[in-house]
Structure 1
Amino acid sequence: MRFKNKLMTTSLLVGTSVLATPAFAQSGQPAPAVTTQADPQVQADQAEPTAESEVVITGTLIRNPNLVASSPVNVVNEAEITLRAPNNAEELIRRIPGVTPGIGSQVNNGSNGINSVDLRGLGTQRNIVLLDGNRIVPTLANGATDLNVIPVALISRVDVLTGGASTTYGADAVSGVVNFITNRNFSGIDARAAYKLTERGDGQSHRVDLTIGGNFAEDRGNAVISFGYTKVEPVYQTRPFALFGISSRTGAASGSSATTTPTNINFGGTTGYQQLNPGGTAFVPYYEGFNFNPYNIFQTPLERKSAYGAATYEIADGIEFYARGLFSSNEISSIIAPSGIFGNPLVVNANNPYLTPALRDQICTFNGIALGTACTSRTGSTATTGLPLPAVYRRLVELGPRIGNYQNNVYDARVGTRFDVTSSSSLDLSLSYGKSEQNQTNSGYVLNSRVQQALLATSTTACTVTTASCVPLNLFGPTGSITPAQVAFIQGSANIAIDTQLQQARALYSGDLGFSAPWASNPVSFALGGEYRRYTYDRVPDARSQDPSELGGAGGAVLPFSGGYNVKEAYAELIAPIASDKPFFDELTLEAGVRYSDYKLTTGQGFDATTYKVGATWQPVDAIRLRGNYQRAVRAPNIGELFAPNVTGLTNLQVDPCALTNPVGNANLIATCLAQGAPAGQIGVIPNPVAGQANGTGGGNANLTPEKADTYTLGVVVTPKSILPGFSASLDYYNIDINSAITAPTPGDSLAACFNSPSPTSAACLAIRRNPVSGALSGPTGTVAGLPLYSTNQGRLRTNGFDFTANYDRDLGPVRLGLNLSGNYTRSLKFKATPTSYDRECAGYFSANCGPSLGQVQPKWSWTQRTSLGFGAATLSLLWRHIGEVNYEGTAADFLQRGFSGTNCAATGNPGNSCSRYLFRGAVTNQAPAKSALAGKTYDFNTIKAFDYFDLNAQFDIERRFQLTLGVLNLFDK
């Protein structure tokens, strides 16, 4: 019964060849878990049998499987992929310790329409996604590749190198690479079907794949083609624990703090916010926010259609032609709460048919307009002729949710030829072309210009403007008072088209030099090559997308821009075995590499970069291997960082130093707030940002230069075969230090630059611009610039920590036991956006000051551990996933040094302005408090405690051609 009450997964795997079912399952061995292999030699052993030139070893361009590189690599093998039955590649790798989840199916409000990966929490722009060791076309201006295009059905393993790899793969591989390795020389038919649903019957996903391949021309050639279809349904935030947004400052159920239903208007001064009562008969002091949670989703819907084909053909002895092509059509939707009017200044006719005399008189009184003729005669279209509504907030639930629909089509093809130059070296020449098309349609939005037109009405059927289709709008009634005809007039959609292209040409000559060191058994191996890449990017938004004041709740203008660059590169690598089979030198190997890159931008500017690496592996005895490497990585700015126009959008901010009574009695602070554009009458009542979202202005910078990084790893691998057969373990220390980092100030940095020493004449203070009506840092993005968040080369990022693994495989009579552990301890993740910013620690903390530049939350501890028991043709497996505790940044002992106002909650135990430990009092919205899982409970909002998740799988081989996998994800319903 436990299985029926939790998240259930079933997958069916059908095939007619050995490749259709993993060898581990056929022999009754348990499926190995995510592991960090001792070295790339083990990876080569796991690959399908191929010629040496085809063996892909992540971390080096040298394709000799007899050599060992010094970079540690996390490996997810085919058996583990089968057990997890992922809907896409992002779901597969997000659980690897050391991988910080990027944008994926769990991101709704903030989705960019793709799935991406973030290594070490350093940002998606600092790693590369590879397919069989080669780049594929990115989708976004930041260079991110959509993981939805990866053919999951053909993946034989995934290699994740979480450390510098710029010398091997290019300057943007600062934090590493994710390399998806496909099955080679596939022969047979592989049919797969997977179905998942949650315990409540929603969130269904269906995935089917068909792969057909075989040899031809007397086995001189091989061809494979694979088709896939995936459909994932959304999961809405209707679980008891998610019925309400919860304020971390009050503990009460909350939502949008100003945008409400019925209408809420800020008249400024001591009058402040006035909200219509539920019946729409009178304005009363603000009493209720809007609960947007039930409209939002936990899991974004996806529909994917894909095709992948590859072929190799031996033209003659030593000459092989190869080609591969992929097509992927993905449709992803984000679904968020209804659009609204977010603080827009509007004007209404005094004789508007939906404005009762009582409401009209209240509006006049709040605006200081005398009652009588002075009030009733105001029927113009400006604030001086009509009745001004200084800042209107109304959540337009009658419009339904806002939907961002992303249609992504990706085409990518590669052709090449390999020549054997000598018996031990080969030349690989290849060309590739990729194109990504993203079409984003944003629907369900209110058109602010039409709202203003529809308020200038003298009857329920006629507007005073000339728009023929204008329908007068009832903005002064209760929830539901806006009719379908009114909705049809004020609602609209917008479109953004993005086109990205990548052209590549590469020549790689690799092999061995034909000689070895006097004490070594393997020869010195090398790789020499050159590469040309050309990136272009075009974004074309329609007129509505470009107008920051038109779409209600769109977050800001999306402006058109084009950009691109080409890069010419030359590189060389060397792996030199120094000694082998000698006392205390069972093996000693040195490694070196260098890459020179010459960039030319479409603007005519250019810069160059040189990266290099040195490494070594030393195996004093058979059971112990020591390894280490150092790399100088140089990352060039991407197209978005260089060419994106500066615009005003939304950022995260809960507390404004000028808000509420903070400036009262402080003349200098009052003068500073006024200098930033706050009205004098608002001092003492300036609201904090609506829904914790302030405006921020930033974008690209054509003067950016490459950032430089120093990375190194030191590790040990233990394989005591004679003492403990079947056991292996590894421990690796990593350190990445990025200087001249391309970063933008966080909201905390921007505030601290001014309010650490507030002054009405300070440049840092005057750069902050406020809402001219309310004085807040939120409001229409067309008129309120908010915080300056411009990109520079003045940042610094540093991280260090440990990766560890332990694996044990043993026969216990008729049972095969498998124990596999892979983990990460992030000792530090430091971020300093500008020279004047605080050098904040982000490992183990969460806040808006770590998230925008570094990605998602990075716990100090994380690990996965799989226990498997094999019983002949059946395997039972339990996966334990641990995510460590993280704390609010304000609990850090040095919190007050960071330029924040308020009280350090760790030092005093006082909640202060942002830190809180509150009793959840229940709802202040229209939902009943008893429905919330937190009602009446005390909850510490300063800590996200450690979580342990368990996934249970059972796998059965049926006549060696069929495989059935049943699974329960999140077994104990955490």
Structure 2
Amino acid sequence: MNLQGALLSRSSAFALTLAAIVAQSPASAQENPGASAPAAAQASAGAADEGGDIVVTGSRVGRKGYDAPTPVNVVGDERLKQLAIDNVADALNQIPSFRPINTPASTFFRISGNIGARTLDLRGLGATRTLTLVDGRRFVPSSDDGTIDINGVPSMMVQRTEVVTGGASAAYGANAVSGVVNLILDTKLNGIKGNASYGISQRGDATSLFLGLAGGTDFAGGRGHIIAGVEYAEEGGIGPCEERGWCKRYVNYVPNPGYNTTTRRSTNGLPATLVLDGTSFVYNENGIVVGARKPNGTGGTITLGQQVLNTGATSLPNALRGKQFDSAGNLVPYQFGNYLSGILQQGADPTQPYALGLSPLPLMVPTKHFSSMAHADYELTDAITASVEFMYSKVVGGPTARSAPLDANVAININNPYVSDATRASVLASDPAITHLIVNSSSWALGSLAKAKSTVNTYRGAFALKGDLFDTWDWDAYYTYGRVTSRVSDDNNRLAEWNSALDVVSAPAGLAGIAPGTPICRTTLTNPTNGCIPINLFGFGNISQAAIDRYIVPEWQTRKFEQHAAAVNLRGSPFSTWAGEVKMAVGAEWRRDTAVGDADANTLAGRFIAANGSALPFTKTSVVEGYVEVAVPLLKDSPIGRSLDVDGAVRQTHYNPFGNATTWKLGAVYTPVEDITFRVTRSRDIRAPSARESSPNATTIQLPLPDPFVGGTSSQFVVTGGNPGLNLEKGDTFTAGVVFRPSFLRNFNMSIDYYDIKVDGAIDSLTGTAIANACKQKNLLCNLIQFNPNGSINTVFSNFQNLSKLHAEGFELVSDFRIPALGGDLNFQVNGNYVLDLSTTDATGVVTQLDNWTGNAGSVTNIQGVPRWKLDGVVTYARPSWSMTFHGRYIPRALLDPTKIGPEQDGYDINDPNSISENHIAARFYLDITGTIKVNESFEMFGTINNVFDKDPPGQLRLIGNPLHFDPIGRFFKVGVRTRW
């Protein structure tokens, strides 16, 4: 669709929704115009403060006193002070347009290269599509996905953050698909400032310590200025699930055992899926018998189920039904819970520790970070200024962990010497054909696996020049170099040899060096020197220390990311129209990013049951690009409007190896009367593949898979992993909004903007089976399959491809209001976001809705959704010597699982396989209160209480909750001091 068509097609829907929002929106405000005001107010304030043009994020041209066509939300350091927040990422992640996908509270379930990272995700389209800048310049990535860890920038030195909530690739290049976050440093700091705080939860954990010091001064008679700052932060984290009452309820899905999946009928009046508390997995340290096996498959493998274990309506012998082993290898009763279905149940045997599969995972990982920077600028001449800058940070995340070792469906030979003679005789007496017992076991005595810790060091240096050229032109040029080195150390991971060590036999006579009857691995019979140490799964602590030392070993992963970037920009006014000066900016940029990583020998050789790390082959991406942007005023104090400005930009980009791209934007700002401004922008944006996606680190394995082209199963080669042949993702963004600054209501500002972001060719991967079915049934993705001459599948490419589509659509509200009251100021500010649609469409046409979804899939790795709408409000009453701030945020009622239908939804039917007993997550309102006392002009004290009402996450959330939207800590206290002189 062309620009004119897009504008016309959106206008009616936008006008109706805008009217509804305005009718319902409360007046709102803030204390400081620099804290969170609309872009218009910020541009005006900034220009006034600096006495000249400013460059608003999202544009390269200088502006003075009028709005940017793309929505810009400015979050100043005043918000951090008002709410006693130490990290700028934490402040930004409170804004409803962000989804806090990577924080210490949301990374506990992952082993990654940067466990303690804080990244930013605008619009829920993923952190890889949000471009993070520092003073308008790129920052070196700290992960395989190319994301930026905000911990690498000292929050003490950030003066404000400008957030562009729309595409900005024409201004800044790739990855600005959902928006840009520009951290603007206080490079003009004069004097010294310090900050110290300590916090702790009501339950004595989640401690936080922050220490920061920064200062700046002139030198060389005022021709130069230098600043420096350091900060240290330490967060204690939260222990395992059992540390919180809401978590140890163990809420989870349990398939209804009374639902017949063949007839699709419920036999007990309950839906297909039950949401129950007190759930557990059918595992035990002693080993639970869940089936038996006969020779040559006779009688099949009897598996765990309601009939097998409770009713006995199968061929499983009575001697095995509902039994577990004790530490001596004897069969004893296992107490099953209610609604036993598969390996899930409500309740558990008293000997079963916790909800196996969870503990001892931390609910919030401990983190530490140190960051520092120094910046100096010097006037070389009256027209040219040089600057140098250096940053260093160290971030330590963890330890985090995974559950104790769980072994499902282990085939224990009936002649295993750890099985008692009495048990063996009983089993064979009931059915002499049984050769193996199928057992579920948990080795709880070994503690958690994957006790991982990451250390990330970031170095960044910059050199820049800027100056004036003629009367109406200025220029700048810079070079930056960044390097990140990281290491993940994992103390405990199981080698695949563990599985061989579970198959234990008694040593026969004549085996050199081994007494007859000694328990040995079956593999030792044919290879007596293989060093295999047998494992006794039965009973707490019966696995020998020698076996633990052999099979549970450390692993590690390292990474090195480097970035070189250089740019030159020229801004000025080539001529004027009847309405004012035409603004123009031209520039060119060059950038090279490299990534490489190594791993331990066991990981490289594939010797782990499930490796947590990986190697990263060397990848290099280089880009050369140039841009031009022009802002043309068309109206000024006209009978048809106070002003009309049109802004256009185009950028030509050449990526090696991803090809060429042209990005562009076209926008307009129209002020019909002084009190109201309209703005609209249309843009084309791109995202470049990350190191993980474009890595040549592809793996080919041969698997027996369904082959729809010949029927049955065929042996197929499946390629997974990276793909150097990827293309750039392409995004199309449309925004339209209105800014209110009524003359009859002083100090009131409000902006409401509509956004519509579509991404084509989004990088994704599908399973080999999904690709084969799509080709056969829909004639899709056939290019990802290589066939044999007989028409069967030879190879399927299941690695990263440009396969999917993404869509984000909604409205954003930003508002502030200040009223003099009772000898002070009463300040309001409100940020809101309403999501019309957030969805993904894969290459087979399957649409996944992510909006109106605050539930979780049982683990944080699958949490992706956002609420339908979200509000964040701050109210501050400030007097010269003290202030009080009240911060509230609201998450409305939303879905637990968008793929299911609950009792309160249309179409609910207990016979529907997608029916569920509960499918809503309750709403939550959180209130934080902060008080500040100014002792004198140089010293102030503050205290804060977060989550004043000690609200737990909603009870419908599964297992570990959803820390992306709900607070896992509970009531939290913090005290601190600030000083400046």
Q: TM-score range by the shorter chain?
A: 0.7 to 0.9
- Cα deviation for residue 739 of structure 1 reads 1.9
Q: Distance in 2 between matches of 1:597 and 1:764?
A: 28
- Residue 619 (structure 1) aligned with residue 683 (structure 2): no
Structure 2 residue aligned with 1:199:
202
Structure 2 residue aligned with 1:356:
420
Q: Distance in 2 between matches of 1:850 and 1:70?
A: 42
- Residue 305 (structure 1) aligned with residue 370 (structure 2): yes
Match among 585, 589, 614 for residue 641 of structure 2: 585
Match among 730, 733, 736 for residue 754 of structure 2: 733
Structure 1 residue aligned with 2:960:
none
Q: Distance in 2 between matches of 1:48 and 1:324?
A: 27
Match among 859, 864, 871 for residue 867 of structure 2: 859
8 A Cα contact 1:430 1:505, kept in partner: yes
Q: Distance in 2 between matches of 1:227 and 1:797?
A: 40
8 A Cα contact 2:756 2:810, kept in partner: yes
Q: Distance in 2 between matches of 1:347 and 1:87?
A: 54
- Cα deviation for residue 232 of structure 1 reads 0.7
- Residue by residue over 1:344-366, the C-alpha shift from the partner in whole angstroms, topping out at 9 and shown as x without a partner, is 867779464x4422455578799
Match among 932, 935, 959 for residue 936 of structure 2: 959
Match among 732, 739, 754 for residue 710 of structure 1: 732
- Residue 420 (structure 1) aligned with residue 423 (structure 2): no
TM (norm. structure 1) is 0.77
Structure 1 residue aligned with 2:852:
844
Q: Distance in 1 between matches of 2:724 and 2:438?
A: 38
Alignment of 1:528-677 (within 5 A): 528-548=586-606, 550-552=607-609, 554=611, 558-601=614-657, 606-643=658-695, 645-646=697-698, 675=713
8 A Cα contact 1:878 1:952, kept in partner: yes
Q: What residue identity is the alignment partner of 2:753?
A: D
State the secondary structure of the residue aligned to 1:488. Answer: helix
- Residue 498 (structure 1) aligned with residue 559 (structure 2): yes
Structure 2 residue aligned with 1:232:
235
- Residue by residue over 1:429-462, the C-alpha shift from the partner in whole angstroms, topping out at 9 and shown as x without a partner, is 2111111111011222233315634856757998
- Residue by residue over 1:556-595, the C-alpha shift from the partner in whole angstroms, topping out at 9 and shown as x without a partner, is x734422121000011111122222333422211101010
Match among 286, 307, 321 for residue 262 of structure 1: 286
**Closer, same or farther in 2 for the Cα pair 1:648/1:309, shift >3 Å?**
farther
- Cα deviation for residue 73 of structure 1 reads 1.2
8 A Cα contact 2:207 2:236, kept in partner: yes
Q: Distance in 2 between matches of 1:176 and 1:259?
A: 46
Structure 1 residue aligned with 2:70:
71
Q: Distance in 2 between matches of 1:192 and 1:90?
A: 17
- Residue by residue over 1:61-108, the C-alpha shift from the partner in whole angstroms, topping out at 9 and shown as x without a partner, is 224445542111122111101133334333121111111122111121
**Closer, same or farther in 2 for the Cα pair 1:865/1:676, shift >3 Å?**
farther
**Closer, same or farther in 2 for the Cα pair 1:469/1:878, shift >3 Å?**
farther
8 A Cα contact 2:443 2:540, kept in partner: no
8 A Cα contact 1:259 1:395, kept in partner: no
Q: Distance in 1 between matches of 2:622 and 2:372?
A: 29
- Residue 333 (structure 1) aligned with residue 398 (structure 2): yes
Match among 168, 171, 179 for residue 171 of structure 2: 168
- Residue by residue over 1:474-532, the C-alpha shift from the partner in whole angstroms, topping out at 9 and shown as x without a partner, is 5233223335454333321101111111111111111222x321133xx1111111111
- Cα deviation for residue 637 of structure 1 reads 2.4
CA RMSD of aligned residues (A): 4.1
TM (norm. structure 2) is 0.77
8 A Cα contact 1:342 1:553, kept in partner: no
Q: Distance in 1 between matches of 2:540 and 2:367?
A: 32
Structure 2 residue aligned with 1:923:
none
- Cα deviation for residue 233 of structure 1 reads 0.7
Q: Distance in 2 between matches of 1:808 and 1:868?
A: 11
8 A Cα contact 2:627 2:650, kept in partner: yes
- Residue by residue over 1:857-910, the C-alpha shift from the partner in whole angstroms, topping out at 9 and shown as x without a partner, is 2111101111111233211111110112221445678x9xxxxxxx99741342
- Cα deviation for residue 39 of structure 1 reads 2.5
State the secondary structure of the residue aligned to 2:577. Answer: coil
Q: What residue identity is the alignment partner of 2:389?
A: R
Q: Distance in 2 between matches of 1:86 and 1:552?
A: 42
State the secondary structure of the residue aligned to 1:299. Answer: coil
Structure 2 residue aligned with 1:820:
829
- Which runs of no fewer than 5 residues in structure 2 stay unpaired? 1-28, 255-273, 294-299, 305-319, 337-347, 508-514, 788-795, 952-981
State the secondary structure of the residue aligned to 1:907. Answer: coil
Q: Distance in 2 between matches of 1:295 and 1:501?
A: 36
State the secondary structure of the residue aligned to 2:907. Answer: helix
**Closer, same or farther in 2 for the Cα pair 1:506/1:803, shift >3 Å?**
same
- Residue 971 (structure 1) aligned with residue 948 (structure 2): yes
- Residue 215 (structure 1) aligned with residue 279 (structure 2): no
State the secondary structure of the residue aligned to 1:100. Answer: coil
8 A Cα contact 1:242 1:293, kept in partner: no
- Residue by residue over 1:143-198, the C-alpha shift from the partner in whole angstroms, topping out at 9 and shown as x without a partner, is 11112112111111111111101001112111111111111211111111121111
Structure 1 residue aligned with 2:109:
109
- Cα deviation for residue 416 of structure 1 reads 1.3
Structure 1 residue aligned with 2:576:
516
Q: Distance in 1 between matches of 2:449 and 2:912?
A: 35
- Residue 445 (structure 1) aligned with residue 501 (structure 2): no
- Which runs of no fewer than 5 residues in structure 1 stay unpaired? 1-28, 376-387, 650-657, 659-667, 678-695, 768-786, 896-902, 918-939
8 A Cα contact 2:669 2:679, kept in partner: yes
Aligned residue-pair number:
831
Match among 807, 815, 836 for residue 816 of structure 2: 807
- Cα deviation for residue 310 of structure 1 reads 0.8
Structure 2 residue aligned with 1:271:
302
Q: Distance in 1 between matches of 2:582 and 2:287?
A: 76
Q: Distance in 2 between matches of 1:48 and 1:552?
A: 63
**Closer, same or farther in 2 for the Cα pair 1:905/1:363, shift >3 Å?**
farther
8 A Cα contact 1:526 1:575, kept in partner: yes
Q: Distance in 2 between matches of 1:337 and 1:109?
A: 7
Q: What residue identity is the alignment partner of 1:229?
A: Y
- Cα deviation for residue 751 of structure 1 reads 11
Structure 1 residue aligned with 2:968:
none
Q: Distance in 2 between matches of 1:968 and 1:467?
A: 65
Bigger shift: 876-885 or 293-302?
A: 293-302
Structure 2 residue aligned with 1:429:
477
- Residue 247 (structure 1) aligned with residue 252 (structure 2): yes
State the secondary structure of the residue aligned to 1:42. Answer: helix
- Cα deviation for residue 727 of structure 1 reads 1.5
Bigger shift: 111-120 or 162-171?
A: 111-120
Q: Distance in 2 between matches of 1:738 and 1:233?
A: 39
Bigger shift: 204-213 or 537-546?
A: 537-546
Q: Distance in 2 between matches of 1:751 and 1:966?
A: 60
Q: Distance in 1 between matches of 2:215 and 2:363?
A: 35
- Cα deviation for residue 967 of structure 1 reads 0.7
Match among 507, 510, 514 for residue 568 of structure 2: 507
Q: What residue identity is the alignment partner of 1:503?
A: H
State the secondary structure of the residue aligned to 2:549. Answer: helix
